[in-house]
Amino acid sequence: MRFDFRNYISVIKALKRNKMRSFLTSLGIIIGISAVIIIMSVGSGAHSLIANEIQAVGSDLIVVLPGASEEDGPPAAVMGISITTLTLDDVKAVERDVEEIADVAAYVSGAATVTWQNKVDDTSLSGVTSNYMQVEAGNELELGRFITKEESDTITKVAVLGASVAKELFGSMNPIDERIKINKESFRVIGLMKERGSSSFQDSDDKIFISITTAQKLMLGINHISMMRAKVVEGADVEFVLEKVKSTLREQHDIDDPAEDDFTVRSSEESLAMLEDITGALNYFLAMVAAISLLVGGIGIMNIMLVSVTESTREIGLRKAVGATSSNISNHFLIQTLILTSMGGLIGIILGVFIAFVISLIVNYLGYNWDFVISPSSIIIAVVFTIAVGLSFGWYPARKAAKLHPIEALRYE
């Protein structure tokens, strides 16, 4: 296909005569391209967030959740199903029988309303064992102490406050040894956690920690645990230790066939790989959905170009009468389409990158470790789609214009 400079000049003059229509014609492409870039950037950011969270927790952790799962699928507990197959006895068995485990922490959780004098705060209640601080990387105490093993094993009304809970109730005042009420039960504050920010998709500071036995028996009325996390001894083979944990739990639960496991054991690296697969598939699916708007934009361009051909019928007849070839006429409208789609694609890329950057700033401001990522693939996809839409939807109007007979075109009213 051969273009000459005069075609470009005439196309630009035609677009300038209808500036608003030219912009609105490109708007579908702008929205589609920016949506593809934003979605792929958000997907990459979510991937980085997950990776950062796993690294923050530590790559030497083994997580045990109640309920079985497929080899590469999420555990039932992750899917929101309440499973009660794990208990504190399982935690003790893992501590006792797997010597490559340095520490094991057990968890239960629920909602709580905390009051002090006339201050009220709705927060998350975490019942944990005494070695929570050894297992969970990044947690430090600002004041006081954490729950002891003796307190963890008994119903003891002591509490450790997250930073935002303490700020909500006490402001800048020292909360140690103050009496608070958690769901109408009186507790003594023994510790204050350092501010940590958001992690694992939740506010780590909006929590209150109590003994796991107290949480089970007094606050929640349960005997099971939500999960356990085990920290592997430095230098040990995580996969080997993972298999030993599975074997210990099968013995504990009288399970002979691994297919009948009522628990899920995963290393943090396995969890990362599984979440990467899920977010990656979702990311590309959403990008394909966003790309549909490009087709809609392409149809809009074709529609406007057909209108443009109709409006320019007499002009086309006059140009043919003075010697313009069908190729000249076809190229004129094809160039016009390509300029509109290219302009829309360029604006869409700039807009998509800008919005993705703003999203990353907002998410980081909220306390999440979110990386701003614009992958080359998203730019390549945007460019390829722009060219494809321009050529695909500009060809028919250009061909229709080229086929007009000069005499019939000059007679057109």
* 73-89 residue pLDDT tens: 555 555 455 678 899 99
pLDDT of residue 370: 78
Query: Residue 380 and residue 378: Cα distance in Å, rounded?
Result: 5
Quote the pLDDT of residue 209: 96
Output the pLDDT for position 345.
Answer: 82
Nearest to 341 by CA among 303, 305, 284, 298: 298
Least confident piece of the model among 34-48, 158-172, 194-208, 226-240 = 194-208
> How high is the pLDDT of residue 166?
92
pLDDT given for residue 310 in this prediction: 66
**What is the pLDDT, as a whole number, of residue 161?**
94
| Residues 351-392 pLDDT 10s | 988 998 898 888 877 767 777 878 777 777 777 777 777 777
- The residue-averaged pLDDT of 190-198 equals 84
How confident is the prediction for the chain on average, in pLDDT? 79
Report whether pLDDT(398) > 70.
no
214-234 pLDDT, tens digit per residue, is: 999 999 999 999 999 988 888
User: Do 182 and 137 touch, CB atoms closer than 8 A?
Assistant: no
Most confident range, picked from 31-35, 196-200, 245-249 = 245-249
The Cα–Cα gap between 22 and 24 comes to: 6
Whether pLDDT at 192 is above 90: yes
Residue type for 158, please?
V
Task: Name the band, by pLDDT with cuts 50, 70 and 90, for residue 252.
Answer: very high
pLDDT number for residue 12: 63
Quickly tell me which residue has 């002591």 as its tokens.
Answer: 158
Q: Please give the pLDDT value at position 1.
A: 47
For range 246-268, the mean pLDDT? 88
Please, which pLDDT band fits residue 130 given cuts at 50, 70 and 90?
A: very high
> Could you tell me the sign of the dihedral formed by the alpha carbons of 63, 66, 67, 68, in that order?
positive
Name the DSSP class of 216: I
pTM as predicted: 0.61
The two three-digit tokens of residue 296, written as one number: 């809609």
pLDDT score for 352: 87
Say yes or no to pLDDT of 7 above 60. no
